[in-house]
Amino acid sequence: MSDLRIRPAGPEDLDTVLAFWRTAAEGTSISDDRDGVERLVARDPEALLLAERGGELVGTVIAGFDGWRCHLYRLAVHPDHRRRGIGSALLTAADERFVRLGGRRGDAMVLVRNERAQHAWRAAGYEPQEQWRRWVKHLTR
């Protein structure tokens, strides 16, 4: 893993990240577009973490902190690079970021149908909270 580099994404990375998610991420989000990711990076330049190996993007995670809670989204590892510790390294970097910011607990959005991801989150020490239900409302402009 010594050749794995984890760094925050910059504006120049956004098109690459969006293309990467189409290959490596499970499902899509209403925010998976250039404007949405630009807003994320502009508001919190260290939230979108990239894992690179040999200059190639091999993993991502969004580690957002709103001053109250630590939220994790878009943990994705390229299919050709899975089971090599990349997801674990990204989550360790996210946890370290949260601790530096004063966060006390991280939560993750994980699709119910994505069993592979559930195993990865469990291995990283996360556990589901069955008593909670996600409520959403799509906002229009």
Splitting the chain (141 residues) into consecutive groups of 10 residues, what average pLDDT does each group show? 89 95 81 88 96 96 93 93 92 95 90 84 87 78 63
136 is a domain residue: no
Cα 16-22-24 angle, rounded to 5 deg = 90
Crossing angle of helices 14-24 and 34-43, in 10° steps, is: 120
CA–centroid distance for 70 within its chain: 12
Parallel, antiparallel or unpaired: strands 70-77 and 106-108: parallel
| Widest pairwise Cα distance in the chain | 45
Q: What is the pLDDT of residue 119?
A: 86
pTM: 0.89
Number of domains present in the structure of the chain: 1
The parent domain of residue 37 ranges over 4-124
Q: What is the pLDDT of residue 1?
A: 52
Tokens of 65: 């902190």
137 is a domain residue: no
140 is a domain residue: no
Q: What is the pLDDT of residue 130?
A: 85
Q: What is the pLDDT of residue 87?
A: 93
134 is a domain residue: no
Question: How many residues in the chain?
Answer: 141
Tokens of 59: 């993993």
84 is a domain residue: yes
55 is a domain residue: yes
14 is a domain residue: yes
How many other CB atoms are there within 10 angstroms of residue 6's CB atom? 18
CATH number of the domain that residue 11 is part of: 3.40.630.30
Q: What is the pLDDT of residue 81?
A: 93
Rounded-to-integer distance, Cα 10 and Cα 76, Å: 18
71 is a domain residue: yes
